[in-house]
Chains A and B, each alone.
Chain A
Amino acid sequence: MTAVDQLHPELDHPTSAPNGTGQSYRGLAGVPLSLEPLNRKDFTSDQEVRWCPGCGDYAVLAAFQGFMPELGIKRENTVIVSGIGCSSRFPYYVDTYGLHSIHGRATAIATGVATAREDVAVFVITGDGDALSIGGNHLIHVLRRNVNVTILLFNNRIYGLTKGQYSPTSEIGKITKSTPMGSLDNPFNPISLALGAEATFVARTIDSDRKHLTSVLKAAVAHRGSSLVEIYQNCPIFNDGAFDAIKDPATSADAIIPLTHGEPIRFGVDGHLGVVRDQQTGAFSVVEVGEVGEDALAVHDAHLADPSFAFALSRLTDAGVLHRAPIGIFRDVEASTYDDLARDQVALAASLGNDEDALQTMINGGDTWTVH
């Protein structure tokens, strides 16, 4: 028994979180449950929150602190790892274990935490610069490995903490301090990127829609494996209004393409718009339902093994100034996780015997000689 095990005898009792909604939290299997009910205050640290007034990060923090108690797990068995950027201050404000790390590396560090400890729920807080620029390599690898972590990617399409340079999700032609004549490079679509890495859970939500944000984050936690949640998050200082089209009640109906598993993809005022799939190319396009008929609409399936369907949906996102984007869970499929498999290998190997004699035998090796 290791020192770590001794601290966690409850690991002997497999757990799965009760949640009152009937939802099964496979992603939390192995994480011990709190013996007493927790509330929002239990997930609030003593640190003063220091984001700019009006920052979308406040809403995400509030939603997070709101649903964490519902998961039923012990807060001391929660670890939040972040990188660098405005949103990466997040861990300081939540009374769990937290590691505010270095730029781009949160996913790599979280991989170590998650692989080391089955009894810990691991969250990664990152931004568009942190995850997609300096940390792009680690992001695609954590996704392909399917490490059991929940990644909250705050996408404000700008560098905030360094005071307003364009980011890898900024639209082409973005005028910023570092691009006075306009940015030149194509932006990443984080959903497409994650699906390209065959991420097993990929979703998009909006900072200002507390209900949707909460439901998507809970689904992400429930998923066992890497969950990537892109959160459209407004930066009121350096990129204000980037998501106005989908946040403004006057335009949002036509701007948000809602993804609900098993439902035809239909939206717009009075549901006049819908999404159809080209049988030849596999690409989706937005059409007037009146022109094609309701039966022609694509029905969303988040559980397809092949990520192509979800990828094609992700392409409906505007790459330039945002007027329209699919919102919801693009993909949610079950697959083995790296950390579970790694622990299984260690356990299998240990079953061959690992006492002190075995260790001494290993060190002795095969060819020994004795000097008398």
Chain B
Amino acid sequence: MKHVNTLDRVVIRFAGDSGDGMQLTGDRFTSDSAVFGNDISTLPNFPAEIRAPAGTLPGVSSFQLHFANYDIMTPGDRPDVLVAMNPAALKANIDDLPRGGVIITDSADFTKRNLAKVGYDSDPLTDGSLDDYQVHALDLTGMTLGAVKDFGLTRKDATRAKNMFALGLLTWLYHRPTDGTISFLTTKFASKPEIRDANITAFKAGYAFGETTEVFAVTYEVAPAPMPPGKYRQISGNLALAYGLITASRKAGLPLFLGAYPITPASDVLHELSKHKRFGVTTFQAEDEIAGIGAALGASFAGHLGVTTTSGPGVVLKSETIGLAVATELPLIICDIQRAGPSTGMPTKTEQADLLQVMFGRNGEAPVPVLAAQSPADCFPTALEAVQLAIKYRTPVVILSDGYIANGAEPWLIPDLNAIPPIDPEFAQASNATDKAGEPVFMPYLRDPQTLARPWAIPGTAGLQHRIGGIEKARDTGAVSYDPANHEEMVRTRQAKINGIVQDIPDLIVDDPADADGRHARVLVLGWGSTYGPIVAAARRVRKTGRLIAYTHLRHLNPFPANLGDILRSYDRIIVPEMNLGQLALLLRAKYLVDIHSYSRVRGLPISLSELARDLEAEIDQLKGTNP
């Protein structure tokens, strides 16, 4: 009987060649942990190259999973366990593993040739350089080949099952359920019975190896995390975004029309929506980014819910059409799944550096509402709200996500769709004015006094024929106008309409519990988008040291919530962590004339919570002794 250690949290990183199936392995372990009831957070990290040369550093792909018995906010800075399928994976990841951490490797891959490929002069498994770690060098390849030898696979195909052997071993080591992976493999390889059976056999062999070997003296248990009651699934950001868009289109009674061009890391939204045509979804893979948004805008003009999905380099190309949507005041959803830039940048790495682009990256005064999702599951409500605002205010709306949110996963309390209120598109049905002769006419720019939104009359509606376009429009009538006073009025009205959305935005709530003496924090951490996890986790860590810290998070970047100025002015120090060089900080300083301490990290990875916590503590300590 082996000893069982109970842990509250574990971070495992699976690393191997791009073709080793590390993303799949990580996904499976995540699913099994989620179904088991742990809270989870994941960080897939892979090269843009589909199959970089085998065994090289650029070809290393990894998947990090954090699972715990409490609600966690990040995938973890550093792994406790590193599963390294080859020398390249070990070398690329060893610096992140704390001393004392566990390494599980495939010793069969540590050949002289493979070691030389990544610049190891000697074998790290035997030269003592890993003495500070708990190393389990196992012949994963050999054991896998032995387990599947009866299935008549080529050596290459047989070897490919070694990720399932490793998964089986870890499943045993962490007391995960096995049913999920077995049924997953059964479905995935249904058409290839020998591959299916080999993978299931390798998975079971890995599990059995753990049970019988003496290598592991201890196994680990991480109990389920307490969560609000209900039905859960795990979900990635791109999936939640796709579901949110479909749900919103159904709630609005508008067929969804996606115009998109493939781009990392947004393509999965196109893939997902393409699967759900039954819900009235049309997906148009355009010839380029411009045609993608152009067709979406055309569909909006025709009365559908026009959506385009892209990343930063695509937003650049779509800018002119977004401007046209501003001028024509048509609903349109632009999803920017940000990645590291500039230019091509690092397509598979995350960043938040498109904020100013989506705010201002158009000619003329062209205001657009901007919403940002803070986590994978949060993409669902963000999409719903974006659609609701786009329809109500007849405006393009930008949804910001990023590579970390898009590919990362977390548990999601599945919403009851019946509880989501409908969205009324309120198409114009009849004339809204009379001409000089007293005849009824339709004025496409006669605005709702409350929202300043113009009527949305779609083709097929008798009597409401009208012409709109990018040329400046006369107020009310929408006729072409070059009148100076009219232009000034229209520019200001378009801005006022977007500013007026603030009436639909809830006040921002600050998390700032008083201490035993009733004191509140002097330092506020303010974030937006995917820094939510690291910020909340860092704040919790800071509070554990007895320090006071407040935090809050923006979903609404344009317009800002009404009470944001008051919040900013009620703290001595505002710290804004961003994965850019201070873009939100710039906006806040400009709008509210307050000092902002910008905390910038642009490594293509989420902000490190331990580093952030340490730096926040230093900021708090620096304020000590100064007068509030």
Residues of A within 8 A of B (CB): 2-4, 6-8, 32, 45, 47, 74-79, 81-82, 84, 91-92, 95-102, 105, 108-117, 119-120, 137-138, 141, 342-343, 345-346, 348-354, 356, 358-360, 362-365, 367-372
Residues of A with C-beta under 8 A to B463: 76
Residues of A with C-beta under 8 A to B100: none
Known contacts A74-B462, A342-B284; decide if A112 and B324 are in contact (CB<8 Å).
no
Known contacts A47-B479, A92-B467; decide if A350 and B280 are in contact (CB<8 Å).
yes
A95 to B464: give the CA distance in the assembly, Å: 10
Q: List 19 A-B contacts (CB under 8 A).
A: A4-B254, A92-B467, A92-B469, A108-B286, A108-B290, A108-B298, A109-B295, A109-B297, A111-B298, A113-B299, A116-B298, A120-B302, A120-B460, A362-B246, A363-B415, A363-B417, A367-B34, A367-B233, A369-B37
A98 to B302: give the CA distance in the assembly, Å: 11
Q: Are B297 and A112 in contact (CB under 8 A)?
A: yes
Whether B67 is near chain A, meaning CB under 8 Å from some CB there, is: no
Residues of A with C-beta under 8 A to B464: 76
Question: What would 12 more interface pairs be, CB under 8 Å, given A100-B471, A108-B287, A112-B299?
Answer: A7-B303, A7-B460, A47-B480, A84-B470, A97-B465, A99-B467, A109-B298, A112-B297, A114-B298, A138-B294, A369-B35, A370-B229
Q: Are B303 and A4 in contact (CB under 8 A)?
A: yes
Q: Are B243 and A112 in contact (CB under 8 A)?
A: no
A103 to B185: give the CA distance in the assembly, Å: 51
Q: Are A115 and B417 in contact (CB under 8 A)?
A: no
Residues of B with C-beta under 8 A to A96: 465
Q: Are B277 and A349 in contact (CB under 8 A)?
A: yes
Annotate B229-251 by CB proximity to A: 1 below 8 A, 0 otherwise. 11111110000000100110010
- In-complex Cβ contact of A4 among B35, B277, B294, B304 (8 A): B304
A119 to B460: give the CA distance in the assembly, Å: 8
Q: Are A371 and B227 in contact (CB under 8 A)?
A: yes
Known contacts A7-B458, A359-B279; decide if A111 and B35 are in contact (CB<8 Å).
no
Whether B190 is near chain A, meaning CB under 8 Å from some CB there, is: no
Q: Are A346 and B302 in contact (CB under 8 A)?
A: no
Residues of B with C-beta under 8 A to A119: 460
A7 to B301: give the CA distance in the assembly, Å: 15
Q: Are B302 and A116 in contact (CB under 8 A)?
A: yes
- Considering residues A45, A112, A352, A359, which has the most beta carbons from chain B within 10 angstroms of its beta carbon? A112
Q: Are B304 and A116 in contact (CB under 8 A)?
A: yes
Taking chain B's interface residues, is the majority helix, strand, or loop, or is none over half, making it mixed?
Answer: mixed
A191 to B327: give the CA distance in the assembly, Å: 34
Q: Are B291 and A91 in contact (CB under 8 A)?
A: no
B276-335 at interface with A (beta carbon < 8 Å): 276-282, 284, 286-288, 290-291, 294-304, 306, 320-321, 323-324, 328
B446-475 at interface with A (beta carbon < 8 Å): 458-471
Closest 4 A-B residue pairs measured CB to CB? A112-B298, A100-B469, A108-B294, A112-B295
Known contacts A108-B294, A111-B291, A113-B299; decide if A364 and B233 are in contact (CB<8 Å).
yes
A76 to B416: give the CA distance in the assembly, Å: 39
Residues of A with C-beta under 8 A to B468: 98-100
Known contacts A75-B465, A365-B233; decide if A101 and B277 are in contact (CB<8 Å).
no
Whether B257 is near chain A, meaning CB under 8 Å from some CB there, is: yes
A367 to B36: give the CA distance in the assembly, Å: 11
A363 to B464: give the CA distance in the assembly, Å: 38
Q: Are B461 and A76 in contact (CB under 8 A)?
A: yes
Residues of B with C-beta under 8 A to A115: 257, 282, 284, 295, 299
Residues of A with C-beta under 8 A to B301: 79, 97, 99, 109, 112-113
Residues of B with C-beta under 8 A to A117: 302-303, 459-460
Known contacts A2-B254, A367-B180; decide if A101 and B282 are in contact (CB<8 Å).
no
Residues of A with C-beta under 8 A to B295: 108-109, 111-112, 115
- In-complex Cβ contact of A370 among B231, B291, B324 (8 A): B231
Nearest chain-A residue to B240 (Cβ)?
A363
Q: Are B250 and A359 in contact (CB under 8 A)?
A: yes
- In-complex Cβ contact of A99 among B247, B469, B479 (8 A): B469
Q: Are B462 and A101 in contact (CB under 8 A)?
A: no
Residues of B with C-beta under 8 A to A372: 229
Known contacts A47-B480, A76-B461, A76-B463; decide if A116 and B34 are in contact (CB<8 Å).
no
Whether B31 is near chain A, meaning CB under 8 Å from some CB there, is: yes
What's the nearest-Cβ distance from chain B to residue A191, in Å? Answer: 21
- In-complex Cβ contact of A95 among B276, B324, B465 (8 A): B465
Residues of B with C-beta under 8 A to A102: 320-321, 323-324, 470
What's the nearest-Cβ distance from chain A to residue B422, in Å? Answer: 10
- In-complex Cβ contact of B466 among A97, A110, A358 (8 A): A97
Residues of B with C-beta under 8 A to A356: 250, 417-418
Known contacts A101-B469, A116-B304, A120-B459; decide if A354 and B479 are in contact (CB<8 Å).
no
- In-complex Cβ contact of A116 among B282, B291, B425 (8 A): B282
Residues of A with C-beta under 8 A to B31: 367
Residues of A with C-beta under 8 A to B247: 359, 363
Known contacts A115-B282, A352-B278; decide if A97 and B459 are in contact (CB<8 Å).
yes
Q: Are B465 and A112 in contact (CB under 8 A)?
A: no
Whether B559 is near chain A, meaning CB under 8 Å from some CB there, is: no
- In-complex Cβ contact of B230 among A358, A367, A370 (8 A): A370
Residues of A with C-beta under 8 A to B290: 105, 108, 138
Whether B518 is near chain A, meaning CB under 8 Å from some CB there, is: no
Whether B101 is near chain A, meaning CB under 8 Å from some CB there, is: no
A137 to B291: give the CA distance in the assembly, Å: 9
Residues of B with C-beta under 8 A to A75: 465
Known contacts A346-B277, A353-B278, A359-B417; decide if A112 and B257 are in contact (CB<8 Å).
yes
Q: Are B287 and A137 in contact (CB under 8 A)?
A: yes
Nearest chain-A residue to B414 (Cβ)?
A364
- In-complex Cβ contact of A363 among B34, B280, B414, B467 (8 A): B414
Whether B367 is near chain A, meaning CB under 8 Å from some CB there, is: no
What's the nearest-Cβ distance from chain B to residue A250, in Å? Answer: 40
Nearest chain-A residue to B477 (Cβ)?
A46
A141 to B287: give the CA distance in the assembly, Å: 7
Residues of B with C-beta under 8 A to A113: 298-299, 301-302, 459
Q: Are A76 and B459 in contact (CB under 8 A)?
A: yes
Residues of B with C-beta under 8 A to A349: 276-278
A367 to B306: give the CA distance in the assembly, Å: 31
A345 to B296: give the CA distance in the assembly, Å: 18
Nearest chain-A residue to B246 (Cβ)?
A359
Whether B255 is near chain A, meaning CB under 8 Å from some CB there, is: yes
Q: Are B291 and A141 in contact (CB under 8 A)?
A: yes
Q: Are A354 and B279 in contact (CB under 8 A)?
A: yes
Residues of B with C-beta under 8 A to A95: 465
Residues of A with C-beta under 8 A to B459: 76-79, 97, 113, 117, 120
What's the nearest-Cβ distance from chain B to residue A22, in Å? Answer: 28
A164 to B427: give the CA distance in the assembly, Å: 42
Whether B438 is near chain A, meaning CB under 8 Å from some CB there, is: no
Nearest chain-B residue to A104 (Cβ)?
B290
Q: Are A112 and B259 in contact (CB under 8 A)?
A: yes
Whether B253 is near chain A, meaning CB under 8 Å from some CB there, is: yes
Nearest chain-A residue to B435 (Cβ)?
A46
A108 to B301: give the CA distance in the assembly, Å: 13
- Considering residues A45, A348, A364, A369, which has the most beta carbons from chain B within 10 angstroms of its beta carbon? A369
Whether B384 is near chain A, meaning CB under 8 Å from some CB there, is: no
- In-complex Cβ contact of A2 among B234, B253, B417, B469 (8 A): B253
Residues of A with C-beta under 8 A to B303: 3-4, 7, 116-117
What's the nearest-Cβ distance from chain B to residue A36, in Å? Answer: 11
A121 to B320: give the CA distance in the assembly, Å: 26
- Considering residues A116, A120, A371, which has the most beta carbons from chain B within 10 angstroms of its beta carbon? A116
A77 to B303: give the CA distance in the assembly, Å: 13
Q: Are A358 and B278 in contact (CB under 8 A)?
A: yes
- In-complex Cβ contact of A98 among B235, B284, B467 (8 A): B467
Q: Are A91 and B467 in contact (CB under 8 A)?
A: yes
- In-complex Cβ contact of B298 among A3, A47, A78, A99 (8 A): A99
Q: Are A2 and B291 in contact (CB under 8 A)?
A: no
What's the nearest-Cβ distance from chain A to residue B387, in Å? Answer: 13
What's the nearest-Cβ distance from chain B to residue A341, in Å? Answer: 11
